[in-house]
Structure 1
Amino acid sequence: MDFRLTEDQEALRRGVRELLGRLFDREALRGAVSAGRLDRSLWRELGDAGFFSLCLPEEEGGVGLGLPEAVLVFEEAGRVLLPGPLVSTHLAAGSVPGAADGSVVVTSVDEGLVPWLDEADVVLGDVTGAVPVRSVDPLTPLHRLPGTGGRVHPFHPADRPPTTGALLLAAEQVGSAQATTGMAVSYARQRSQFGQVIGGFQAVKHLCAGMLVRVELARAAVWAAAVTGDPVEIAGAKLLADDAAVGNARDCLQVHGGMGFTWEADVHLHLKRAWVRAELGMAAARAEETVAASL
């Protein structure tokens, strides 16, 4: 399978990266953490740019692109830790009025959790009795449905097949894994110990090389699943992407040392978001059962 992007796809990815660089830079990221609320003006700007209507047909007011293009866009969103129920609002475009243009925020029940419940205008699913829980990620407030306790309910692949949402979350994980790889390499080139930059030490080289392998393997799996739409490939892609996002954030922390845990470094935010995303869309137990059932 040829995974080289077309000129239009390259232009899309470049355009989204430039857009997010303008709308959600590092200062905006820090501001979002401090505010603890969803920026409605940012949400509307994303809607105006076609973020949520990307896969809607042109005759319905959308951009008319496909799942492979959506994966590229969500990868960029994960790279900058763009907050909010992006996947739910994207999937609701075309069925929930206002979702496509960003004037309405949509969230949904996901593995017993409901992200951004207090900020949402529309909630898909029954959230009766949902209670707030302390989220490890300051950019993803959570509620939990009573009785779920964080455990995945018994699942049969024929009853609950993997969804597009799981793949888009996997794409965000890939973007985050790519970001932490870049952060680790950049820090390793600057930080000096024992008279030389730490990037010259073999142990650090191995960590960075392992991070690159994880992110490229996960990206290939996510892109392949976006092309085929196969439920089993989506499940496998989610497993690999979760592993890449969490594993790369951990290794990036290792490269940074104690500095990585301080407020000055963003790597701890990537690790916390990766933990939360890994429990959404399709948690590991359900993804593993989906893959195992196909073997």
Structure 2
Amino acid sequence: MRFQLTQEQRALRDGVRQLLARRWDARRAPAALDPPATPDPPAASDAPVDPPALDRALWRELGAAGFFALRLPEADGGAGAGLAEAVLAFEEAGRALLPGPLVATHLAAGTVPGAATGETVVTAVDGPLVEWLAAADVVRGDPSGAVPVRSVDPLTPLHRVPGSPPAAPSPPVPSPPVPAPPDPTAVLLTAAEQLGTASRVGELAVQHARTREQFGQPIGAFQAVKHLCADMLVRAETARAAVYAAAVTGDPVDVAAARLLADEAAVRGARDCLQVHGGMGFTWESEVHLHLKRAWLRARRRGGGTEGEELLAADLTA
């Protein structure tokens, strides 16, 4: 299978990167946040902080650029592109730490008025957590009883949807309902965002290793740092091959494999990037810790972890 991008695909990727660089710079994202009033809040506290506001102007600009309508037919006002092009766009969004319910709004284009143009913000109930609930105009799923909770990612406000209380046991005890499988497209677009994070933290680690000096030489000259950077590259490129292949085949099993590899590449890559940066990676002036927190949060979305592993296991044993 060939993964060489076409000229049009490269232009799309470059165009999204340029748009985000102009309108949303992850290096300035920490400066837009107020540092916590208390640096070490009590561990048991789950009280939410003031959530960040969604940039509606940026959302509409994304809509005008065709980000949400990318896969809509041209007759319906879209670009008529495929899943492979959407993956490239979402990879750039992940690389830039772009906030907002991107996947849900993209999937709603064509069915929810205003979603394709960015006039309507759409979010979805994804398991027990809902991202950007207060900022959404339309919510897919039942958010009844949702309560705000403190999010590990300061750029992604969260609500928790409580589960239905269990009925009193009485023989025979009915089996719990089996949840509907996650949308493979949503799972793959999340994997693309994770791939963007994995690529970006690898770049940040290499840049820092080349410029930061200790004992009279760049820290990149030390074997331990070289190994960290090399491992980040291997995981990111392995995930890239899997994500791009799943975008071509659209097979749910390929999507599950891509998601597992992308989650690992993003989370472990961001942790290794922090290791390279040392303590400064945790500061508000750095974007490194934000990539790790966003990767943690995305990994909790449906379709990864145990769900993906069980789908792969079922396919292997079929």
TM-based fold match above 0.5? yes
Taking a change above 3 Å as real, the CA distance of residues 260 and 155 of structure 1, as seen in their structure-2 partners, is farther
Post-superposition shift, 1:29? 2.3
Q: How does 1:40-189 map to 2 (within 5 A)?
A: 40-147=56-163, 159-160=180-181, 162-189=183-210
Partner of 2:226, secondary structure, is: helix
- Mean alpha-carbon deviation: is it higher for 34-43 or for 254-263? 34-43
Q: Which amino acid aligns with 2:23?
A: L
Q: Which runs of 4+ in 1 moved over 6 A?
A: 154-157
Post-superposition shift, 1:32? 5.0
- Mean alpha-carbon deviation: is it higher for 26-35 or for 163-172? 26-35
Post-superposition shift, 1:281? 3.6
Q: Which amino acid aligns with 1:187?
A: H
d(CA) in 2 for partners of 1:279, 1:199:
33
Post-superposition shift, 1:30? 3.3
Q: Percent identity?
A: 66
Post-superposition shift, 1:79? 0.3
TM-score under structure 1 length normalisation: 0.94
Residue 4 of structure 1 is matched in structure 2 by: 4
Is this contact kept in 2: 1:55–1:67, CA < 8 A?
yes
Q: Structure 1 regions of 5+ residues with no counterpart?
A: none
Partner of 1:140, secondary structure, is: coil
Taking a change above 3 Å as real, the CA distance of residues 6 and 240 of structure 1, as seen in their structure-2 partners, is same
Taking a change above 3 Å as real, the CA distance of residues 163 and 142 of structure 1, as seen in their structure-2 partners, is same
More helix by share: 1
Residue 169 of structure 2 is matched in structure 1 by: none
Question: 1:223-277 CA deviation, whole Å, 9 max, x = no partner?
Answer: 0000000001101111000000000000000001111111121100000000000
- Mean alpha-carbon deviation: is it higher for 278-287 or for 115-124? 278-287
Is this contact kept in 1: 2:25–2:96, CA < 8 A?
yes
TM-score under structure 2 length normalisation: 0.88
d(CA) in 2 for partners of 1:241, 1:262:
25
Post-superposition shift, 1:21? 0.8
2:252 to 231, 247, 256: 231
d(CA) in 2 for partners of 1:124, 1:46:
21
d(CA) in 1 for partners of 2:177, 2:231:
33
Establish whether residue 268 from structure 1 lines up as the match of residue 284 from structure 2: no
Post-superposition shift, 1:40? 0.5
- Mean alpha-carbon deviation: is it higher for 178-187 or for 160-169? 160-169
Residue 229 of structure 2 is matched in structure 1 by: 208
Post-superposition shift, 1:80? 0.6
1:277 to 293, 298, 306: 298
Taking a change above 3 Å as real, the CA distance of residues 251 and 265 of structure 1, as seen in their structure-2 partners, is same
Q: Structure 2 regions of 5+ residues with no counterpart?
A: 35-50, 166-175
Q: Which amino acid aligns with 1:180?
A: V
Partner of 2:210, secondary structure, is: helix
d(CA) in 2 for partners of 1:178, 1:32:
24
Post-superposition shift, 1:144? 1.1
Residue 287 of structure 1 is matched in structure 2 by: 308
- Mean alpha-carbon deviation: is it higher for 140-149 or for 229-238? 140-149
CA RMSD of aligned residues (A): 1.7
Q: Which amino acid aligns with 1:98?
A: G
Q: Larger Rg: 1 or 2?
A: 2
